[in-house]
Chain A
């Protein structure tokens, strides 16, 4: 887990909204980073700062929805909250489908904003834990030799040692040795746990 404090990235081309928003969030104890244009924000994006992004939906250049896509394609998974000056149901449905946490109409109340931000930060923290775990799983898995990986995959499918040996054209005894290695390298206690490991690996 990274130790950097959670940062709220604010992107709005209206400077006075940007200032007011930043002031409010800082007063509520958050760390903020304001950007007056989507391009400025994208150029300074680094994948590993925890936090969330509050994006204006309508900006010259890139609009908020396009910015959200650009973030995703740069590998930035910060949860997004949209703010907009005029109610627009189709845009909000699109934003929601693209995974936005919330969609606030200006002028918005601090309660709504702060609760949306809490929700986004929780979501980000959970996603981060998930990614760290998944990285650890991949690291352990990559320690296996190619043959051990084959064995691991077949065992996880529920095949017996005998069936695995038949499938790979070798003896049951060799498979037993491979299997013990796999279990040791992956640091699992049982076949059931091995199956779960492979499952999570697949999702990660």
Chain B
């Protein structure tokens, strides 16, 4: 093997979208430029969420031991806290290899001399440009609220960020509302009651002062749900959630630039080491067309050269010919208010509606359905996000087997005489492991796909088994066991298979999480299907957790109600909406001393074909 090897130290969990995007594009540039295999080792240090010096010390010891006998050709480090560790490791292990840094801190070398053989990029968040954009779009703005978290590196950035905003605040006479370093509850409470004429600029929110860790997209979603004023962002990974826009850093472009610089350095470009940190030029002014509409901002205010994202025709544009004269703009707005609220309100108002508005009703229902579908899709993405670590694990197993077998085969072919039988077996194993990885991806993609909902016949048992397979590894990691007790002859249900699977997925994930406090060995999740009365099938999910307090039972289906620290409180409310849209109902009980029991009752379709679905349900594998 003559390929080069590069070691990248990143501060955050690789499951964060920004990180995975950045590393993927770095890797592809390196591969393309090296014209062949290059080993990119990635160590994610988990530094973002407040960590003590003992942790950093342990990391230092560990990496010293781990890399004592492995020498990379270059060392890459992202963010100031990681760069410090990288510098120490390089000094002790390989003082002569180049270090390439990606820093968010423009004054990185101000308080210490710049070491030799360091090249780098300065990743700049352009707050000024974002604020200027906000002022163009919202000319009445008088106040700027700024959101930033409490983790050590967020606080380290704070002074620099405010310094950058200062001139524009002074020049335009804007009042500054400080929403940094707040406990989560307080941040959300403040966001609900911001004064009129406020524009919100969010940086990140990784921890609050109590040290509780949060994940970027999830926290952004919660914040946006609470916030009563338009918000702007700086990261391209949170776009689409409802931010109006901003000067966005594209992690894909950053990875690419860093890849090109690394390639030049690996090629021996020593003069690079003397160059000062460069600022990247990939900030892109972007606005979310949907968010513009949501906040009633005229498109004409968007300056030329700004990119539109999520630019789909509005309902108005699509149905204008149809609605003209019949609908006022305010009626249209009433229709597009968020899915769950609209659906409920629609039901309450339905009786009072006049007969000649029935046609309009139909349209409202379509729109509510569409909103529910969108919400449901978001819910699936969120649910799979929770499984990200476990899915990564499940994919890495077959990938490890494939790599080992392929490298073994190469060695076996080089042996004299070549051991062809063994090579043949290795290839057979590679093929079956590839299929195994493919199945994981297939299941995941099926859930992530966003399609028009279908109405088809499904076996509830099959849906349960499919979800059980997807969750098997997560169950295992959480030390829970799953017991399936499926009725052998179950009539079919009609509806959208993916949405019904989502209900099962939500119920199972909820059940698993409800058991986190129970000692390992007693975490038992039971799933039963049955057909107790004619025309109905039933799915029961019972956990062995602490149960639900009777007073809370009516609340658990409410949107944004959650008993979990990180819960969005959307899973059960979306599930209930899906079940009701399928003509069924979802109930919760908490029999004393037995954990929670969720019961989903769906109308069944008595077809001949549904009876011969034989019970060929395989229990999920051990992992």
Contacts and interface: CB of A to CB of B under 8 A. Distances in A.
B227 interface: no
A20 interface: yes
Interface stretch (A41-49, A83-91, A191-199): A83-91
B69 interface: yes
Given A20-B404, A23-B408, A24-B405, A115 B69 contact: yes
Contact of A83 (B66, B400, B419): B400
A125 interface: no
A16 B429 contact: yes
A86 B45 contact: no
B394 A85 contact: yes
Nearest to B622: A60
A114 to B, nearest CB: 10
Interface stretch (B54-62, B137-145, B554-562, B568-576): B54-62
B401 interface: yes
Contacts of A93: 58-59, 62
B491 interface: no
B62 A17 contact: no
Given A13-B622, A16-B398, A110 B407 contact: yes
B397 interface: yes
Interface stretch (A72-80, A98-106, A174-182): A98-106
B62 A27 contact: no
A119 interface: yes
Contact of B408 (A13, A20, A83): A20
B335 to A, nearest CB: 45
Contacts of A27: 408, 411-412, 415, 419, 422
A85 B401 CA distance: 11
Contacts of B90: none
Nearest to A27: B411
A96 B404 contact: no
A27 B405 CA distance: 10
Contacts of B65: 96
Interface of A: 13-14, 16-17, 19-21, 23-24, 26-28, 58, 60, 83, 85-87, 89, 92-93, 96-97, 102-103, 105-112, 115, 119
Given A85-B392, A93-B62, A110-B403, 8 more contacts: A20-B433, A21-B400, A85-B393, A85-B400, A103-B66, A109-B403, A110-B407, A111-B39
21 contacts: A14-B401, A16-B398, A16-B429, A16-B432, A19-B401, A23-B405, A23-B429, A26-B408, A27-B411, A27-B412, A27-B422, A85-B393, A86-B396, A89-B45, A103-B66, A105-B396, A107-B403, A109-B39, A109-B403, A110-B404, A115-B69
